[in-house]
Amino acid sequence: MSKQKFVYMFEEGTEGQKELLGGKGANLAGMTALGLPVPPGFIVATTACVKYYDEGKKFDAGIEKEVFECVAKLEKKMGKKFGDAADPLLVAVRSGSRASMPGMMDTILNLGLNDITVEGLAKKTNNPRFAYDCYRRFIQMFSSVVMDQDKHACERVLDEVKAKRGVKEDTELTVEDLKEIIDRFKADYKKDHPEGFPQDPKEQLIKSIEAVFRSWDNPRANTYRFMHNIPYNWGTAVNVQSMVFGNKGETSGTGVAFSRNPSTGENKLYGEYLMNSQGEDVVAGIRTPHNISELEKENKKIYDEFAAIAKRLEKHYKDMQDMEFTIEEGKLYMLQTRNGKRTATAALRVAVELVKEGLIDEKRAVCMIDPKQLDALLHPQFDKKALKEAKEVSKGLAASPGAAFGRICFTPEGAHEAAKKGEKVILVRVETTPEDIEGMVAAQGILTARGGMTSHAAVVARGMGRCCVAGCGQLIIDEKAKTCIINGKKYSEKDSISLDGSTGCIYDGCLKTEAAQLTGDFGTIMAWADKYRALKVRTNADTPKDTQRAVELGAEGIGLTRTEHMFFESDRIGPMRQMIVAKTEEARRAALEKLLPMQRKDFIGIFTALEHRPATIRFLDPPLHEFVPHDDAGVKSLAKDMGISYEELKTTIEGLHEFNPMMGHRGCRLAVSYPEIAEVQTRAIIEAAIEVKKSKGFDVIPEIMIPLIGEVKEFKYIKDIVVRIADEIIAKSDVKIKYLVGTMIEIPRACLTADEVAKEAEFFSFGTNDLTQMTFGFSRDDAGTFLDEYYQKKIFESDPFARIGQIGGGKLMEITVELGRKARPDIKLGICGEHGGDPSSVEFCHKIGLNYVSCSPFRVPIARLAAAQAALKD
Amino acid sequence: MSKQKFVYMFEEGTEGQKELLGGKGANLAGMTALGLPVPPGFIVATTACVKYYDEGKKFDAGIEKEVFECVAKLEKKMGKKFGDAADPLLVAVRSGSRASMPGMMDTILNLGLNDITVEGLAKKTNNPRFAYDCYRRFIQMFSSVVMDQDKHACERVLDEVKAKRGVKEDTELTVEDLKEIIDRFKADYKKDHPEGFPQDPKEQLIKSIEAVFRSWDNPRANTYRFMHNIPYNWGTAVNVQSMVFGNKGETSGTGVAFSRNPSTGENKLYGEYLMNSQGEDVVAGIRTPHNISELEKENKKIYDEFAAIAKRLEKHYKDMQDMEFTIEEGKLYMLQTRNGKRTATAALRVAVELVKEGLIDEKRAVCMIDPKQLDALLHPQFDKKALKEAKEVSKGLAASPGAAFGRICFTPEGAHEAAKKGEKVILVRVETTPEDIEGMVAAQGILTARGGMTSHAAVVARGMGRCCVAGCGQLIIDEKAKTCIINGKKYSEKDSISLDGSTGCIYDGCLKTEAAQLTGDFGTIMAWADKYRALKVRTNADTPKDTQRAVELGAEGIGLTRTEHMFFESDRIGPMRQMIVAKTEEARRAALEKLLPMQRKDFIGIFTALEHRPATIRFLDPPLHEFVPHDDAGVKSLAKDMGISYEELKTTIEGLHEFNPMMGHRGCRLAVSYPEIAEVQTRAIIEAAIEVKKSKGFDVIPEIMIPLIGEVKEFKYIKDIVVRIADEIIAKSDVKIKYLVGTMIEIPRACLTADEVAKEAEFFSFGTNDLTQMTFGFSRDDAGTFLDEYYQKKIFESDPFARIGQIGGGKLMEITVELGRKARPDIKLGICGEHGGDPSSVEFCHKIGLNYVSCSPFRVPIARLAAAQAALKD
């Protein structure tokens, strides 16, 4: 076995080796191979970083040896030597992980300088000021970035010297000033590190590489990784590149540019540059850089050369490029290129235009767009100008995207009343419960003090496409006084706020919003996506309005209608509660009879909006206690409405209490206890289908879905009721209606016995929220208290409720698909629930061979695109 | 394909066909084959019953045809014809399922009689009184058993006629009286069934067979099946046998006898007989039967013949037999034989003696004993005489076996105080909580008003071997007044009651108890069992006393020590609560330091009791809110103890609230949040092991068990803490201690990723309670509200918490064993939790290849026997 190699010269790598060399390293290797003017260098591979952590943060001696072998090669190539007093080799050290990752280590430039080589550089360049400025910068970067010294300490020294000299700009400092600054930097350094600033360039280099490795585990990097699902075990590579100087005078400079406009997608170089500067000057904003177009006027030759390289790279990588370059004494060097980050609008335009230009085909275009980005295009946004001037009061979780403003309302009733008068309101609650639904529907946006991304408020708001900011820790509500304090500022129901559900920001007052702009490019990409995907995309919708919206966004049917949401509406909740607290089957039937026409009407609306598309309707699912009031006033009022005593009702309601409601009397268990619920729901569905067929001619095929099945006999018991009632109604009617009876798959036992269940069930729909809970053994509502520790301790790297844990719930899904198809080859398999709109979960669903995914209306385009990408990856 | 056969003549069947012919039918076939004097007949197979239900309770025409073909054969054999006016064929119809099942249909005798054949019988037998008495009996049985008429109506007619005639005994009625009775029976019958009493014997027969089929689904049969895990889909067979008459005068008779004494096991015929009678006379107790030994004096020839048959059958079936016979005019007929039911004592003696007699070998003896029966031998019982005179007040669930008496105490504190004074008390609670532990320990027995077989009271009592009657619906407690009403009778703390935890009976006053008698036969059987079993048997024990007891009962180590139970004791709960509400790591560590020496002492005691045997110790598992007071008084008192404000403590405690505690912050999640808990528990265990090794020389190998693992990284995180602390302590000590670190398997995800987990874990122990909950998706605490409906609707046929659902949790266990052994071939696999003592679950554990089962001390012998039976079945 040949020895494992950890360090690669640029010319030894290839652009395909992102896993090994990191993104930046692979592209440097790629540009080198293309013969572009890249300053030579080498890459310490990601595997070295992994080894560093595996060995308890110790730098492996073998890797150190490899590093210095590459340094030797670099010396030979450059004709300079590390630490050479006359003509020292200087290098830049940069981090570079597999995925682009802000939050990791900054760049260190001019490494190799010390008290002796700085003089060599001064002589060699005949520019002492340049040399000492480089050394000053190097010490400053090394101290703060590598040694974690206080960043501002150096800045203070600089400011003090400038003040003493009476100058304003760094560039006005003399060599002597710089020497003084260097001495003071070194003295400060020695205070914390008695061994003094390292003079050995080799020590400087190893320390810097280690610092890059360490930065992989800093809190910012961890947060970024968590947000973007980047595995901790990837590690980062380190790029060591010989220095070129943009600060060698007015024929030198440095810049950053995109091959197209990253905001709009326009096919025109876009970027900034600054002559006589090093990279950090541009970043720090000390001097204002110029637009790249100026360079054409200032130095056409360099501009043309760069523009040509940009085109060439774009053609080579078949994507818009984001490049860094340096001009050293009139010569152009490329320091980096990568596929450029862009807005959703730009992403669509670039993809469509690249196809038009013949650079890529439709399939590649479809794969170029991050499905999650589409979200931004599907909701109203704040006017950009208004946003700039806005006052951000606080921030919560970006729970459901979109922008909204309105007067504060603390109660759902208040919100409802105001909305009736045409007022725009924001519903502000500690947390929401199913009883708040009416208020949530009425409000423009919802703000809560408690609850995470999967809290009731967040889930329901996303379902409705309503903007929501959840879990704002700085929000304290006094519901009684109808006031709240947000980040110290008091608000009453007279005040207005604005919410940005895409960022979580809360603003004072009313900010102007603009409607979503779905340009032609969006339609083009969606059409291409639809051409290539295998998965159907349905929607979760509980109302005709949501259904209509989802169909407009491309939904091919309904994957989940939650019938319970219908029962929270004000005209329903009364009979619903009477049904729940009924003591006899007769009383329950009487209440259900009142609900029947309302529910039938809902279904007529939904079937009409769907036209011929299929609709999966789930039977009543939540524990009944969710529907009844728990506070004394509510109980008293209900008792009065029902004409029974407070005590009797109180006892009944207390009897509904459960220790673990998530694992209690809910789902199909309700229909097993009270078959009349299943009867009435069947009646409403089938009668609605008949009515719609008669009046509109639409051939609706309702798919009746029994939730929470764990045992085939449980399913069979309810299916028998459905079939009996449905066939009775159809036989009496003069039209023919087909219907299916199937089940949610959300209980592990249903997965393990899917062959049994499939003998009876005509379709399965994965309810991955519950399945995740049961598989992990923790409840969504309670996990918040301990999952943070799990993330911090890297036990989990992503939220299992946001992505299908492919080893946990995912494995059960695979078992289910296999067993289910074995028993019933033509079984229809789908997924509903939050995961249906998550691109990585959509990919998983494609891989295991589901027929469709279902998600909230606004996520339909995301799912369509993700489904196409999954199919094209195959 | 040959046509399926549903009806078999006795001579067509074999004794091995119990599944097809039912137990009674197979044995009738067996006795026929042996050439014993069995009245001829045929069997309608269980498959016919299954078909009857499958076809919506319709009697299949093909089967009817088969029945009459067999009737024809029977006619030929007997030389009599069904409905023949001169010499009618009469038959008996009896149910007979695969397992013996009281609660099903009674026997119908004399079928074939009608207004005409009765006269033929009268003439043929020259005994009109006999003939009309037979007809009278037949109508009576057919009306009540087949047609569901009121049983007492016939009795009333009989009584009226007897009164009119001024006679007392049925035998004193004349032919005319009987005719009058028959007429009145038929008139009553016609009132409900206008078509009149069926005169066609064929109709009588088919109606009777159908009635047997229907009785398979009556409530009594369903209850019995549920209790004994008999599947609904087995169905019952029907035996149709030509009549012989024990009521033909003084040379005729009928009787029941066992080949050995079913109470003591003594090898001597045991039974009763009655001359001139039919079976129901004996059963009804109208006349007092004689001891079988009388028969020897009365009719030695018949007695000897019967005794010889009994011996022959015993030898043939290699087990004690329970037989029914009839003597018709001096000729002996065998009507039934089966393995006889017996007491636990008798079971042991019979098995041991059969081996001594050379009839069976040890293996068969081991398999003959129902492991569950041993339970009765392991606990104190009420004195039999005392029990006869006792007054049963009410009945609850037989939650934990044993007999106990004592003064009523309504509070755990009261029980504790009384016990300290040497008083015997019964703790009476609505339901128990972990805070009651001290009172439960102090009491002789526990009685609760609410809760099932897996309620806290039941589980904890079984674990302690404490007698418990749970869920007594007739118990109403007024805790404030310290009184209760049991079945209408009021009790105060001055009164005493007695509980029988094996029957659920509650008695007034103090009943004398006697200690468990473990005779020599028990020891013999256990020694044989140990010889043949492959599974080790460990115990779940939390105290040295329990450990000691379990070792005496044969436990080979501890499979589960729940460390949390130790913290409920009065000297621990204080620091425990301080630990829980601590706001900082320091405060938490301070409280933990107080707990350390106490916990160490517990472990020293347990290790000493175990000598060299292994001990699996589970880290703290329950949600922390279980340890803190929730009532205002408790919170106030704790706040005072801790020197903090009531409000602060109240807020902290409210913060511990969870929506679904079963799926909340518990198990290993506690140690992930508070690693210092794991540190201190490790310290206590390892220091105790060192101390015991030093002072006693026992080589304890502690097995540290991390609960509720769902992800290997979670396990690794805690294992790293354990190993660090343990190795530190061992390094500092002068003795060598080995220890293992392993995990509970109770989360489905752990099963699905068992290969990953096994890379780190040195052993797995299945926690099947939680695993069952997660797999079925329902909580043990809440399922009670809906599972009854599931049993009634035959969706579930047994309690999943009492037996491992082999398709649900069982399948996950198989996956775990396979994946776990693949990753670590020598991994130690066990099971702890309630299932460990259930024989059918033990068999499953053997089948999937576990190394051991662990159960509460008193169940150890049961598990030893069940394990041997499982191994011998292989």
Residues in a beta bridge with A489: A486
| Range 769-828 of A in CB contact (< 8 A) with B | 770, 773-779, 781-783, 785-786, 789-790, 793-796, 805, 807-808, 811-812
- The CB-based long-range contact list for B86-89 (8 Å cut-off, 24+ gap) reads B86/B120, B86/B123, B86/B124, B87/B120, B87/B124, B88/B112, B88/B113, B88/B117, B88/B120, B88/B121, B88/B201, B89/B201, B89/B242
State pLDDT tens for residues A594-613.
Answer: 999 999 999 999 999 999 99
The vertex-A777 CA angle with B804 and A430, nearest 5°, equals: 145
- B502-515, pLDDT tens digit by residue? 889 999 999 998 87
Q: What is the mean pLDDT of residues B6-28?
A: 96
Identify the band that residue B49 occupies on the pLDDT scale cut at 50, 70 and 90. very high
Work out the minimum CA distance from A771 to partner chain B, whole angstroms.
9
Helix residue ranges per DSSP H, A79-199: 117-125, 128-141, 151-165, 175-192
**Which chain A residues are closer than 8 Å to B752 by Cβ?**
775, 807-808, 811-812
B855 given a catalytic annotation:
no
Span B355-363, mean pLDDT? 97
Burial A534-564 (b: 16+ CB within 10 A, else e): ebbbbbbbbbbbbbbbbbebbbbbbbbbbbb
Q: Is A391 exposed, middle or buried (CB count within 10 Å of its CB: 0-12, 13-18, 19+)?
A: exposed
* Chain A residue whose CA is closest to B753: A807
Copy the structure tokens of residue B18: 């119990």
Encoding tokens for residue A497?
């706020």
User: Which residues of chain B lie closer than 8 angstroms to A807, CB-CB?
Assistant: 749, 752-753, 756
Confidence of residue B521 (pLDDT cuts 50, 70, 90): very high
Is A672–B786 a contact, with Cβ atoms under 8 angstroms apart?
Answer: yes
Rounded to whole angstroms, the Cα distance separating A411 from A432 reads 10
**B671: phi then psi, degrees, rounded to nearest 5:** -75, -25
Contacts of A779 in chain B (CB under 8 A): 658-660, 662-664
Q: Among A728-742, B440-454, B586-600, whose mean pLDDT is lowest?
A: B440-454
Please, what is the Cα angle at B307 between B301 and B311, to 5 degrees? 145
Task: Name the pLDDT band for B280 (thresholds 50, 70, 90).
Answer: low
Asked if B777 and A658 come within 8 Å (Cβ–Cβ), the reply is no
CB A379 within 8 A of CB A502: yes
**Tens-digit pLDDT profile for residues B476-489:** 999 889 999 999 99
Q: Indicate the range of B248-252, B481-485, B673-677 predicted with least confidence.
A: B248-252
The C-alpha of A827 sits at a distance from chain B's nearest C-alpha, in angstroms, of: 22
Total residues found in chain A within this entry: 874
Chain B residues 688-747 within an 8 A CB cutoff of chain A: 708, 710-711, 713-714, 717, 746-747
List the single best residue of A54, A709, A760, A778 to mutate versus B (max B Cβ within 10 A).
A778
- Read off the pLDDT band of B1 (50, 70, 90): very low
Within 624-663 of B, beta carbons closer than 8 Å to A belong to 658-663
3-class DSSP assignment, residue B265: coil
In chain A, residues 456-515 whose CB comes closer than 8 Å to chain B: none
Q: Which of B49, B409, B832, B855 is catalytic?
A: B832
Mean pLDDT value of segment B372-398 = 87
Structure tokens at A787: 């999952």
pLDDT at A808: 72
Average pLDDT over all residues of chain B: 91
Residues in chain B: 874
C-alpha–C-alpha distance, residues B415 and B419, integer Å: 6
Cα B50 to chain centroid, rounded: 26
Position B560 pLDDT exceeds 90: yes
Res A222: pLDDT: 83
Is B134 one of the catalytic residues?
no
What pLDDT is stored for residue B223 in this prediction? 78
| Residue A559 near residue A830, CB atoms below 8 Å | yes
State the CB neighbour count (10 A cutoff) for residue B634.
Answer: 14
Q: Which residues of B touch A665 (CB under 8 A)?
A: 782, 785-786
pLDDT at residue A169, rounded to an integer: 80
Looking at residue B326, its amino acid is T
Cβ-defined contact of B773 to A713 (cutoff 8 Å): no
Which of B602, B725, B620 lies closest to B671 in space, CA to CA? Answer: B620
Q: Say yes or no for a CB contact (<8 Å) between A805 and B779.
A: no
Residue with tokens 């007997």: B78
B711: chain A residues, CB-CB within 8 Å: 795-796
B140, amino acid identity: Q
User: Which helix (H) or strand (E) covers residue B617, if one does?
Assistant: strand B615-618
Q: What is the pairing mode between strands B489-492 and B505-508?
A: unpaired
Distance CA A121, CA A131 (A): 6
Taking the C-alpha atoms of B682, B688, B689 and B691 in order, what is their torsion angle to the nearest 10 degrees?
Answer: 140
**Chain A, nearest residue to B794 by Cα:** A713
**Partner residue opposite A786 with nearest CB, options B673, B748, B770:** B673
Given a contact cutoff of 8 angstroms between Cβ atoms, the answer to whether B138 and B111 are in contact is: yes
| Tokens read off for B444 | 């002789």
Which of A717, A781, A783 is closest, CB to CB, to B793?
A717
DSSP class of B733:
S
Mean pLDDT by 10 residues, chain A (874 residues): 86 95 96 97 97 93 96 96 94 92 80 96 92 94 90 88 88 91 95 94 96 90 81 94 91 92 91 84 67 93 97 96 94 94 90 97 96 84 87 89 92 89 92 81 91 75 82 89 93 95 91 78 95 96 91 95 84 86 90 93 96 95 88 87 87 87 92 94 97 94 96 96 97 94 96 96 95 91 83 84 75 96 97 86 95 93 96 92
Distance from CA of B563 to the nearest CA of A (A): 21
- Report how far residue A496's alpha carbon sits from residue A507's, in angstroms, rounded to the nearest whole number: 9
d(CA B748, CA B671): 20
> What is the set of active-site residues of A?
456, 832
Maximum mean pLDDT: which of A190-194, A684-688, B3-7, B427-431: A684-688
Q: Could you give phi then psi for residue A585, rounded to 5 degrees?
A: -60, -35
Interface mutation target, options A657, A743, A752, A755, chain B, most CBs of B under 10 Å: A752
pLDDT given at position B184: 95
ipTM of the complex: 0.83
pLDDT for B519 equals 65
Tokens representing residue A573 in the block: 């909740």
